[in-house]
């Protein structure tokens, strides 16, 4: 489920090309998707892609039933991932090493949200 295209990435970088960004990842897995996502995360670490682009996983957790549910609001996985800049994120997703295993993430996710955030307080 790759949803990133060149126009989206250009707009994303233009919003703040050099400032740090923390991405909120919300994922609902396909059947068997959790295992594929674990494989994706193993490749992410073992290939050195995370280190090459300064990526830090701030938090990753298993989702549970929402206390204040919104339609479709229960997520299987919630993660906060920090990037030194939006450009680092774009460079990472365009890296052939990353692209070689990104399909695992796409295959794992039935639904996903990738929300860029910056500190508010």
- 10 in a domain, yes or no? yes
Does 88 map to a domain?
A: yes
Total domain count, the chain: 1
Q: Which domain holds residue 97?
A: 6-64+73-117
Query: Largest Cα–Cα distance in the chain?
Result: 40
- Contact present, 88 and 51 (Cβ < 8 Å): no
15 occurs within a structural domain? yes
Which pLDDT does position 3 carry in this prediction? 58
pLDDT above 70: percentage of residues in the chain: 94
Q: Are 4 and 13 in contact (CB under 8 A)?
A: no
| C-beta separation of 112 from 3 below 8 A | yes
Q: Is the pLDDT of residue 17 over 80?
A: no
Choice between 28 and 5, residue whose per-residue pLDDT is larger: 28
Average pLDDT, the chain: 90
Give domain status of residue 1, yes or no: no
Does residue 1 surpass a pLDDT of 60?
Answer: no
Note the pLDDT of residue 110. Answer: 95
Per-residue pLDDT tens over the stretch 39-57: 999 999 999 999 999 999 9
Q: What is the pLDDT of residues 75-95, one digit of tens each?
A: 999 999 999 999 999 999 999
CATH code, domain carrying 77: 3.30.70.100
Spatial distance between the Cα atoms of 94 and 100, rounded to a whole number of angstroms: 10
Q: Looking at the domain assignment, is residue 33 inside a domain?
A: yes
pTM: 0.88
């Amino acid at each position: 489920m790759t949803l990133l295209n060149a126009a989206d990435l250009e707009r994303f970088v233009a919003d703040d090309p050099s400032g740090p960004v923390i991405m909120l990842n919300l994922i609902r897995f396909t059947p068997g998707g959790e295992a594929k996502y674990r494989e994706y995360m193993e490749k992410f670490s073992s290939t050195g892609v995370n280190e090459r682009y300064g990526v830090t996983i701030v938090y990753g957790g298993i989702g549970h039933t929402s206390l204040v549910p919104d339609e479709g609001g229960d997520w299987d996985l919630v993660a906060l991932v920090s990037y030194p800049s939006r450009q680092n994120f774009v460079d990472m997703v365009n890296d052939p090493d990353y692209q070689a295993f990104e399909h695992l993430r796409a295959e794992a996710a039935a639904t996903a949200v990738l929300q860029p955030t910056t500190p508010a307080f």
